[in-house]
Amino acid sequence: MTATDHGLTVGDGVFETLRIRDGQPFALTRHLARLRYSAERIGLSEPSADEIRGAIDAVMEAGRGRLTRLRVTVTSGQGPMSSARGEGPQTVVVTGGEASRPRVCHAVRAPWHRNERSPLTGVKSTSYGENAVMAAYARDKGADEAIMANTHGNLCEGTATNVLVEIDGELLTPPLASGCLPGITRGLALEWAADAGLPIRVTAPGELTMSVLDAAIAGDTHLAVTSSTRGVQHVASLDGHELAAGPLLRRLGALFELNAERNPDPAPRRSS
Ligand SMILES: Cc1ncc(COP(=O)(O)O)c(C=O)c1O
């Protein structure tokens, strides 16, 4: 990769973060499918799954069992010092990390919005500057995640997580139309919860506003965040207020871990 790689200079690329569970990259087929989708959405050529799988094997071997996560990045390759894209070839980078993950989530409300009409909405793009600013904001407040609204003030997602809400014996998550990423963990949680008969659904646009966060502080609703590295994780505090764990969210968290252990590469179903 060169210093003029368009991924580096303008964030013109896509990526995936995978959790390593029991020595294997979890849900690799789904992550490769989303990488393909993200690449297509921003006009990159389809990344070679074989090349990426080969690079992952090499990184895993070099990690000698110590790695806890992988990152796959694909950029448009070397480009001019402007927003216009170069001719490629695309850059593919696979890296491994050993970061530990927090056991619960401490969240704050982000004072910024996700633009659900951006060309990058729903794309796991390397243009994550907004997320980096919000994550730094959360850290400054002693938290590890910031939850944001979209431009209509509806609940959207965290900087690196999707959000689940437990209200009146039901599990709810905002629709992709809210501008959230089609999280792999969100998708699996929806599928596995429904398979197990837990009441779960994607809400209609606008059904969940940021007022559910006030309700969580008041103790009327419960929150969890989902991501590849966190799994389904209880939001233990919001803006410094302690939140109790929701009974259904607790069951979903345990169910998710059990299913993930049993099924390291769950086949993709239709998208949710
Ligand atoms: C903005 C955003 N939303 C949601 C997620 C969760 O997605 P996944 O479950 O695929 O890790 C991520 C993951 O990093 C993310 O960056």
Where exactly are the structural domains of the chain? 6-97, 105-262
Structure-token pair, residue 189: 């949680």
Percent of the chain predicted with pLDDT > 70: 99
| Region 127-151 average pLDDT | 98
Tell me: cis bond preceding 89? Omega within 30 of 0 counts.
Answer: yes
- Closest by CA to 35, choosing from 71, 7, 78, 85, is 71
**In the predicted structure, residue 270 carries a pLDDT above the cut 80:** no
Res 29 pLDDT > 70: yes
- CA 135/CA 144 separation, integer angstroms: 7
Question: Who lines ligand 1 at CB under 6 A?
Answer: 17, 157, 160-162, 181, 183-186, 226-228
Report the chain's mean pLDDT, rounded to a whole number: 97
CA dist., res. 120 & res. 130, Å (int): 12
What is the C-alpha to C-alpha distance for residues 230 and 101, in angstroms, rounded to an integer? 7
Please name which of 144, 165, 153, 172 lies closest in space to residue 111, comparing C-alpha atoms: 153
Is residue 238 predicted with pLDDT exceeding 90?
yes
pTM value > 0.75 = yes
The Å distance, Cα 31 to ligand 1 centre, comes to 11
Among the ranges given (39-43, 119-123, 144-148, 266-270), the one the predictor scored with the smallest mean pLDDT: 266-270
- Out of 15, 16, 127, 162, mutate this one to test ligand 1's pocket (max ligand atoms within 8 Å of CB): namely 162
The pLDDT value recorded for residue 271 is 58
Pocket test for ligand 1, best of 14, 121, 124 (most atoms within 8 A of CB): 124
What tokens were used for 11? Answer: 């964030």
Report the separation in Å between the CA atom of 185 and the middle of ligand 1, taken as the mean of its atom positions: 8
Question: 242 CA to middle of ligand 1, Å?
Answer: 24
Residue-wise pLDDT for 93-114, tens only, equals 999 999 888 899 999 999 999 9
| Nearest-angstrom CA–CA distance, 131 and 157 | 11
60: which 2 tokens? 């895993």
Closest C-alpha to ligand 1, atom 5: 161
272: pLDDT strictly greater than 60: no
How many A from CA of 105 to the centre of ligand 1? 14
Over residues 110-135, the mean pLDDT reads 97
Nearest residue to 76 (alpha-carbon basis) of 61, 91, 62, 66: 91
Closest atom of ligand 1 to CA, residue 162:
4
Indicate which atom in ligand 1 lies nearest the CA of residue 187.
9
Dist. CA 190 → ligand 1 center (Å): 15
In one-letter notation, the amino acid at residue 163 is V
**CATH of span 105-262:** 3.20.10.10
Strand pairing category for 231-238 and 105-114: parallel
One CATH from 3.40.50.2300, 3.40.50.1820, 3.30.470.20, 3.30.470.10 for 6-97: 3.30.470.10
